[in-house]
């Protein structure tokens, strides 16, 4: 047999045991329809905001302000932490002052003191952040009973997926819907975008490091919020 035939036969075998195609057309329509739904939602939200402003703000004009009750604040777990941000990935986070942020090829790593970043070696503990194209829900996650679903800051849906590496490493992944909110859009402008997710991976090569750093690492992960760096549209000249 020619080697090229070996190639073809091997690749055919590699795809022979493929998972079933179940709801691909529905998923396609959902993916395609999201941009349209966002346009409608943005218009509705804009109208609702105007109405709310009229209802809430206008009656208060001319009235004397009432004193606000004092609220006792719980200790801020982020007190003294530093900020980091990525205008391209459109996120901001906070990290302990002794930790540092490394960056390579669009991927960010937030590292405890002494931990090496990826270009210089393999990190043994890191909170890794990258924005990727795609839907929130990969098909394998739908069948995984350990995946936890919830709502991130700003009402963004997210998944928490436990790490199953099998090499002694431990950790978990937050997979957050990071599509633009399109809140700035007004009627008549196009709010077209590709769906994207922010993948936040709390990774540890061993349990001991995980126990040591995971509390701060989870605070780092949970501090991540959407940063809308999209410039507002230029009003169309009439």
Q: Nearest CA to 80 among 67, 90, 94, 61?
A: 94
Taking CB under 8 A as the criterion, the residue among 38, 99, 152, 203 binding another protein is 203
Does residue 116 touch another protein according to CB under 8 A? no
Residue 184 CA to residue 99 CA, distance in Å, equals 35
Residue 165 in contact with another protein, rule: CB under 8 A: yes
DSSP designation for 175: E
What's the count of helices (H) and strands (E) in the chain, helices before strands? 4, 10
The binding track of 16-55 with respect to another protein, each residue x by CB under 8 A or -, is xxxx-x--xx-xx--xx-----------------------
107-111 vs 196-204, strand pairing mode: unpaired
Binding characters for another protein, 83-112, by CB under 8 A (x = yes): ---------------------xxxx-----
* 43 or 147: CB nearest another protein: 147
Please tell me whether residue 58 binds another protein under the rule CB under 8 A.
no
**How far is residue 235 CA from its own chain's centroid?**
30
- Indicate whether 2 belongs to the interface with another protein (CB under 8 A): yes
Least distance to another protein from the beta carbon of 34, Å?
Answer: 10
Within 10 Å of residue 136's Cβ, how many Cβ atoms?
19
């Amino acid at each position: 047999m020619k080697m090229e035939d070996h190639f073809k036969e091997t690749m055919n075998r590699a795809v022979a045991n493929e998972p079933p195609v179940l709801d691909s057309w529905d998923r396609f329509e959902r993916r395609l329809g999201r941009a349209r739904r966002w346009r409608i939602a943005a218009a509705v939200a804009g109208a609702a905001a105007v109405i709310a402003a009229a209802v809430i703000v206008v009656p208060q004009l001319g009235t004397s302000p009432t004193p606000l009750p004092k609220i006792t604040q719980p200790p801020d777990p982020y007190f003294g932490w530093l900020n980091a941000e990525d205008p391209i990935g459109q996120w901001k986070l906070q990290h302990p002052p002794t930790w540092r942020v490394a960056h390579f090829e669009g991927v960010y790593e937030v590292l405890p003191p002494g931990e090496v970043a990826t270009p210089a070696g393999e990190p043994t503990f890191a909170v890794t952040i990258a924005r990727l194209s795609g839907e929130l829900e990969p098909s394998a996650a739908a069948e995984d009973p350990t995946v936890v679903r919830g709502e991130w800051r700003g009402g963004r849906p997210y998944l928490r997926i436990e790490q199953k590496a099998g090499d002694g490493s431990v950790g978990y992944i937050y997979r957050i819907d990071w599509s633009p909110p399109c809140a700035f859009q007004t009627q008549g402008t196009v709010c077209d975008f590709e769906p994207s997710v922010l993948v936040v991976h709390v990774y540890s090569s061993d349990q001991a490091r995980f126990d040591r750093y995971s509390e701060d690492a989870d605070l780092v992960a949970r501090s991540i919020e959407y940063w809308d760096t999209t410039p507002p549209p230029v009003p169309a000249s009439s």
